[in-house]
């Protein structure tokens, strides 16, 4: 089988794929903005062993982490819209759920998944901060909230930074499955181009390169943030 790599097509597919970057990044950003603080709250509740809530959260985390994103997408995307549509009709609202941009589902699914993943990182990071640090802070007269904000959090962030970075990067790569919901992210755009030109290999090479670049840039951003925390790390 002879094969020729179609460079002009690849260039066009590349331009297409670039248009998907904002979509991919918006899913990552939304999931981060929801999952990062949520993960912190989950971790705190579980560390404090708040009765009932703590057990519920343990189940939540193992469900959210223990199921592939693809499965969650297939499940959510086929279950949620009919259910919501029904609810809307019952409430007598004049609005069709099918008008909703599917990216909202992506936000929810990745928000849930990342909240669970981040919560595990938060948990070990918060555990890694010596309890004497909190004690010294409240003994100096800081309120428990101030002690957390001023003393415990910077150290926990420093401990967790590498794991936060790598899990965010793998989430970014994982968002490529949102094309299943007809969302035009990097993968979605490139696949669309591929399907129209019947040139799949070129498109896949393009996808590969675009993710590599975007991940590389994001990693550098994390590195910069990490450097600002380095002094809080245990020697």
Task: Provide, rounded to whole angstroms, the least separation between the CB of residue 157 and other proteins.
Answer: 11
SS (H, E, C) the chain: CCCCCCHHHHHHHHHHHHHHHHHHHHHHHHHHHHHHHHHHHHHHHHHHCCCCHHHHHHHHHHHHHHCCHHHHHHHHHHHHHHHHHHHHHHHCCCCCHHHCCCHHHHHHHHHHHHHHHHHHHHHHHHHCCCHHHHHHHHHCCCCHHHHHHHHHHHHHHHHHHHHHHHHHHHHHHHHHHHHHHCCCCHHHHHHHHHHHHCCHHHHHHHHHHHHHHHHHHHHHHHHHHHHHHHHHCCC
For residue 130, state whether it binds other proteins (rule: CB under 8 A).
yes
Among 155, 168, 175, 176, which residue interacts with other proteins (rule: CB under 8 A)?
Answer: 155
227 binds other proteins (CB under 8 A): no
Does position 125 bind other proteins by CB under 8 A?
A: no
125 close to 156: Cβ distance less than 8 angstroms: yes
Cβ proximity to other proteins: between 62 and 146 the closer is 146
Q: Which of 53, 135, 213, 225 touches other proteins by CB under 8 A?
A: 135
139 binds other proteins (CB under 8 A): yes
Using the contact rule CB under 8 A, the part of the chain among 9-17, 39-47, 141-149, 203-211 near other proteins is: 141-149
Angle in degrees, 0-180, between the axes of helices 53-66 and 103-127, rounded to the nearest 10: 120
Binding of other proteins at residue 49 (CB under 8 A)? no
> What is the chain's length?
235
CB of 154 to other proteins, least distance (A): 7
Among 25, 88, 100, 142, binds other proteins (CB under 8 A): 142
Give the nearer residue to other proteins in terms of CB position, either 4 or 131.
131
Q: Of residues 146, 166, 213, 227, which one binds other proteins by CB under 8 A?
A: 146
Q: Is 2 in the site for other proteins (CB under 8 A)?
A: no
Residues that bind other proteins (rule: CB under 8 A) add up to a total of: 23
Q: Is 133 in the site for other proteins (CB under 8 A)?
A: yes
Least separation, in Å, of the C-beta of 224 and other proteins? 18
* Gap between the Cα atoms of 204 and 154, Å rounded: 41
Give every CB contact of residue 132 below 8 A, 6+ residues apart in sequence.
none
Q: How far is the CB of 231 from other proteins (least distance, A)?
A: 4
Residue from the set 1, 99, 132, 224 that interacts with other proteins by CB under 8 A: 132
> Which stretches of the chain bind other proteins, using CB under 8 A?
130, 132-133, 135-143, 146, 150-151, 154-155, 158, 231-235
């Amino acid at each position: 089988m002879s094969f020729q790599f179609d460079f002009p097509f690849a260039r066009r597919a590349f331009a297409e794929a670039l248009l998907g970057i904002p979509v991919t990044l918006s899913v990552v950003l939304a999931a981060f903005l929801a999952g990062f603080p949520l993960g912190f709250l989950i971790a705190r509740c579980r560390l404090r062993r708040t009765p009932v809530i703590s057990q519920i959260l343990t189940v939540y985390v193992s469900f959210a982490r223990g199921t592939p994103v693809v499965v969650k997408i297939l499940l959510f995307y086929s279950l949620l819209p009919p259910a919501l549509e029904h609810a809307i009709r019952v409430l007598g609202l004049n609005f069709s759920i099918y008008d909703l941009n599917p990216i909202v589902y992506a936000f929810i699914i990745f928000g849930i998944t990342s909240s669970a993943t981040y919560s595990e990182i938060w948990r070990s990071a918060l555990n890694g901060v010596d309890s004497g640090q909190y004690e010294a802070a409240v003994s100096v007269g800081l309120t428990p909230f101030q002690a957390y904000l001023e003393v415990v959090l910077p150290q926990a962030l420093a401990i967790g930074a590498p794991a936060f970075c790598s899990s965010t990067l793998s989430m970014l790569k994982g968002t490529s499955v949102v094309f299943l919901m007809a969302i035009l992210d990097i993968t979605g755009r490139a696949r669309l181009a591929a399907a129209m030109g019947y040139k799949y290999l070129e498109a896949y090479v393009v996808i590969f390169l675009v993710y590599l670049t975007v991940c590389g840039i994001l990693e550098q951003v994390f590195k910069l943030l990490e450097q600002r925390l380095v002094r809080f790390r245990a020697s």
